Amino acid sequence: MKKQKTTQYSIPLRNEPGTLFRLAQTLSKEDINITGIMMQTQGELAITRFLSDKEPQAVRKPLEHAGYQVFENQVTLVELSNETGELSRLCKTLADQEFNIVTMYGTTGGDTSKIAVVVEQAEHTPQFASFTETKNKVTAN
């Protein structure tokens, strides 16, 4: 299982036509590549969360300059085998270590799945989850 620490950016937007287009246009203009994205809406609010391969300051500064409010947090990007039960195994590992999954999104393709995970522990502080794998057993460190 491959894993890496990366930054997730959360941008609150109005839930109306064109707002995601304007954000995507800003990212494109600033040559900011998106490596993972999700959007969630509730009423008039839309939260867009994305990952990028650029340094945090190179993402945050142009977005703030364009008038966006930018929230950052560390996420664990985990690459799992694309097999039945892998997500269950990962979730059990986190639950056994008393990590609460706050945000999760991913993709599958071919033999692997890539999942971005944001977790928090009992004190409700977002954490970077560290995983190790030994012979079909995943453990959180």
Domain pair 6-73 / 76-140, same fold: no
Average pLDDT of the residues in 92-105? 86
Question: 120-129 pLDDT, tens per residue?
Answer: 655 544 444 4
Fold of 76-140: Alpha-Beta Plaits (3.30.70)
Overall average pLDDT of the 37-49 stretch: 93
Closest by alpha carbon to 63, among 6, 36, 24? 24
How much is the pLDDT for 41?
93
CATH number of 6-73: 3.30.2130.10
The H or E element spanning position 106 is strand 100-109
Interval 65-77 mean pLDDT = 91
- According to DSSP, the residues that pair with 37 across neighbouring strands are 50
pLDDT at 54 over 70: yes
Query: Residues 51-61: what's their mean pLDDT?
Result: 94
- 80 with 47: CB under 8 angstroms? no
Query: From CA 117, how far away is CA 97, in angstroms rounded?
Result: 15
Domain residue limits, the chain: 6-73, 76-140
CA gap 14, 42 in Å, rounded: 10
**Could you give the percent of the chain with pLDDT greater than 90?**
46
- Could you tell me the pTM of the whole model? 0.78
Predicted confidence band of residue 1 (pLDDT cuts 50, 70, 90)? low
> Alpha-carbon distance 72 to 8, whole Å?
6
Parallel, antiparallel or unpaired: strands 2-14 and 34-42? unpaired
